[in-house]
Chains A and B, each alone.
Chain A
Amino acid sequence: MSVSAQPFIVLLVEDSTDDVFFFRRAMHKSGLTAVTHVAADGVEAKDYLLNKGRFADAAAYRPPDIMFLDLKLPHCNGFELLEWMRRHAECPPMPVVVLTSSSRAEDQERAEALGATSFLTKPAAPEQLRQTLQAYPLARLPAMGRESAL
């Protein structure tokens, strides 16, 4: 792993511990070097983005380079979070990949209209994660991670 560069940050917003497990496993298998932080719902995601609550440590919880977002979440769902992110200028800009369990066209359209960048059907395969992360001009993706991805 590159020593000088700060690790690439992935924020996964997901309430299902199973899905978190599969995501982490797929990330690991993708060969990409990245740190995955997990917010269990939209409220926690907001906390992370604003460095509040259990994510108050701004050094440990740096702005994500990319977000993976489940749409159906307790408290504050994916749509509400996307809306909130659009309204809040203090929220760091980042690509948002929506993780869906059903490919409902209207959900995709709505998420897209709210700023979602792309979609992945659960469970995301390592190859899909690799392609997704490499689809964006992510300057900060560690070189070694990129190497191992190829």
Chain B
Amino acid sequence: MRATTLEPVTQESKQPSAPKEIVSILLVDDQPGKLLAHEAILSELGQRIVKARTGVEALGHLLRYDFAVILLDVNMPNMDGFETAALIRQRPRFEKTPIIFITGYNTTDFDRLKGYELGAVDYMFLPVVPQVLKAKVSVFVELARQTQIIKSQASDLAAHNHRQAEQLEVIQKLNDELRDANSELEAFSYTVSHDLRAPLRGISGYAGVLLEDYGSCLDDEGRSHLLALDRAAKRMDALTRDLLAYGRVARETVVLAPVTLQPLLDAVISLNGSGSTPPANIVIEPDLLPVMGHVFLLEQCLGNLINNATKFVAAGVTPQVRIRTEARGGRVRIWIEDHGIGIDQAYHRKIFNMLERVGDLQRYEGTGIGLAIVHRAVQRMGGACGVESAPGQGSRFWIDLPSAPPSRALHHNGAS
């Protein structure tokens, strides 16, 4: 699979803390003294102050800065304040920029002010009262700063959303790749199970034919070689089958549903057949409690545990197996108990590992995968498993699973 980096989605706290945002104020006045005085008053606001002596110069500054507010002297030679304002307003960026006209107490000017959009414009009469000027300007400064913060937050948010969308896309792609890989694996497993096992069936089959049809032509050693050939092929077949089962247990999509155990056990036992000689005596206690499980995974668990229970007995002994359930709080413990050879406590954990065959068990047929399948399947169903056993005293394997509401588990859901 192609490697794709996946960065964690982090809330980048580029949150502009309000005091850091500096905005600009434009002062336009033809009298340097007044400019200086206003600058002195407004410098306390801690913002950038840009000064212009004429309307033309003011328009020049518009190219370089955004302004929170423009203080415009109405009475200027050549281009007066109103003319300048009209030109400022022509620029889309400054359509809404607040303008404070500084004017003498003059009715004509006052009338002309009315033509401007309310809110975007204010006026002050000369002489300017410092506190009033500062108060008015600071309102607009604050407004501009808030706008700026909102803007930068919006762009942060947009960038964040964009990153998130990109990561979603990456996740989506990974999911698709995973799904593809899974279905490839599924197809691969199927091919393996069919094509890899077919030749083994052939080897086993022809060994059997040789024994049956030509066995009399061979001496004991020749016949034992053929039997060994058959055993080897069958062992390889069992290994292949168990590895495939393990693989499937590991990647099966697991959705837990109520499962009634009795029919599942009947199916598992009939499938395994009377594998042991003499045939096992399997007792299933009535009224087994339903569990929350997954049919395929449970089949694998029960099949392997029952198979073990009937397999690991002393030669010639009829295997005795008892299956029962026990309520344990919100969980159900399924017990599979035998009277077999038992397991030394030292191995109780080890036996659930892959390909682990311990102590005396070496003498018995097996792949060493069965209990690994059980362990993995139980894990995938959110359960637990374990064993209580001692040599010569049989083994009591258990599986804990969430209990199912009895009413909903009335019918057995047929298959995985």
Q: Is B222 an interface residue (CB 8 A)?
A: no
B3 part of interface (Cβ distance < 8 Å): no
Q: Is the CB of A102 within 8 A of B193?
A: yes
User: Which 5 pairs from chain A and chain B are nearest by CB?
Assistant: A18-B202, A105-B415, A102-B193, A22-B205, A72-B194
Q: Which residue of A lies closest to B196 (CB)?
A: A101
Contact of A102 (CB < 8 Å), options: B197, B206, B296:
B197
| Chain A residues, Cβ within 8 Å of B415 | 105-106, 109
Bound complex: CA A102 to CA B271 (Å): 12
Q: Is chain B's binding surface mostly helix, strand, loop or mixed?
A: helix
| Contact A106-B198, Cβ < 8 Å, known A25-B209, A101-B193 | no
B416 within 8 A of A: yes
Give, as a whole number of angstroms, the nearest-CB distance from B305 to chain A.
18
Within B195-250, the residues touching A (CB, 8 Å) are 197-198, 201-202, 205-206, 209, 241, 244
A interface residues with partner B (beta carbon < 8 Å): 16, 18-19, 21-22, 25, 72, 101-106, 109, 122-123
B94-112 near A? 1/0 per residue, CB < 8 Å: 0000000000000000000
Q: Are A106 and B416 neighbours in the complex by a CB distance under 8 Å?
A: yes
Q: Which residue of B lies closest to A107 (CB)?
A: B190
Are B271 and A101 in touch, CB under 8 angstroms?
no
Which size bracket describes the interface of B in this complex? 10 to 19
For the complex, what is the distance from the CA of A18 to the CA of B201, rounded to whole Å?
9
A19 to B197, CA, bound (A): 12
Residues in B whose Cβ lies below 8 Å from that of A18: 198, 201-202, 205-206
Chain A's nearest CB lies how many Å from the CB of B372?
20
Q: Within the assembled complex, what's the spacing in Å between the Cα atoms of A106 and B248?
A: 13
Minimum distance in angstroms from B14 CB to a CB of chain A: 53
Whole-angstrom distance between the alpha carbons of A101 and B204 in the complex? 14
Judge whether A19 and B296 touch: CB under 8 Å.
no
CB within 8 Å of A: which B109-134 residues: none
Query: Given the known A-B contacts A103-B271, A106-B416, A123-B205, are A19 and B198 also in contact in the complex, defined by CB atoms under 8 Å?
Result: yes
User: Which A residues are CB-close (under 8 A) to B206?
Assistant: 18
CA distance A16 to B296 in the complex (A): 30
Indicate if the CB atoms of B416 and A16 lie closer than 8 Å: no
The answer to whether B201 and A102 have CB atoms under 8 Å apart is: no
Q: Are A101 and B198 in contact (CB under 8 A)?
A: yes
Residue of A72, A102, A105, A109 most packed against chain B (CB within 10 A): A102
The number of residue pairs between A and B whose CB atoms lie closer than 8 Å in the complex comes to 38
Closest CB in chain B relative to A69 CB, distance in Å = 14
Query: Mask for B386-416, Cβ within 8 A of A = 1, else 0?
Result: 0000000000000000000000000000111
Chain A residues near B198 (CB, 8 Å)? Answer: 16, 18-19, 101
Residues of the B chain whose Cβ atoms lie less than 8 Å from the Cβ of A72: 194
**Roughly how many angstroms separate A25 CA and B202 CA in the complex, as a whole number?**
13
Q: Which residue of A lies closest to B206 (CB)?
A: A18
Cα A18 to Cα B194 in complex, Å, equals 14
A101 to B241, CA, bound (A): 10
**Contact yes or no, A102 B416, CB < 8 A:** no
Shortest distance between the CB of A43 and any CB in chain B (Å): 19
Per the bound structure, the CA–CA distance linking A16 and B205 in Å amounts to: 13
How far in angstroms is the closest Cβ of chain A from B317? 27
Indicate which residue in A22, A102, A105 contacts B194 across the interface (CB closer than 8 Å).
Answer: A102
With both beta carbons as reference points, the residue of chain A lying nearest to B205 in the complex is identified as: A22
- Chain B, 246-277, contact with A by CB distance < 8 Å: what is the 0/1 string? 00000000000000000000000001000000
B201 partner, pick from A25, A104, A109, A122, beta carbons under 8 A: A122
The answer on a CB contact under 8 Å between B296 and A105 is: yes
Rounded to whole angstroms, the CA-CA distance of A16 and B195 in the bound complex is 10
Given contacts A18-B205, A102-B194, could you give 15 more A-B pairs where the C-beta distance is less than 8 Å? A18-B198, A19-B201, A25-B209, A101-B197, A101-B198, A102-B193, A102-B197, A102-B241, A102-B244, A104-B193, A105-B415, A106-B415, A106-B416, A109-B414, A122-B201
Residue pairs across A and B with Cβ atoms less than 8 A apart, 24 shown, are A16-B198, A18-B201, A18-B205, A18-B206, A19-B198, A19-B201, A21-B205, A22-B201, A22-B205, A72-B194, A101-B193, A101-B197, A101-B198, A102-B193, A102-B194, A102-B197, A102-B244, A103-B271, A104-B193, A105-B296, A106-B415, A106-B416, A122-B201, A123-B201
Complex CA gap A123/B198 in Å reads 10
Task: Kindly list chain A residues whose C-beta atoms are within 8 Å of the C-beta of B201.
Answer: 18-19, 22, 101, 122-123
CA A25 to CA B213, docked complex, whole Å:
11
How distant is the Cα of A102 from the Cα of B193 in the complex, in angstroms?
7
Contact (Cβ within 8 A) B416 A105: yes
CA distance A19 to B206 in the complex (A): 10
CA distance A122 to B197 in the complex (A): 10
Q: Give every chain A residue within 8 A of B202 (Cβ-Cβ).
A: 16, 18
Residue of B nearest to A105 (CB): B415
Complex contacts, A19 vs chain B, CB 8 Å: 198, 201
- What residues of chain B lie closer than 8 Å to A123, measured between beta carbons? 201, 205
Find the B residue at minimum CB distance from A22. Answer: B205
Q: A103 to B209, alpha carbons, bound, how many Å?
A: 24
Residue of B nearest to A109 (CB): B415
The CA-CA distance from A103 to B271 in the complex, in Å, is: 10
- B241: which A residues are within 8 A, CB to CB? 102
Interface centre among A19, A101, A103 (most CB of B within 10 A): A101
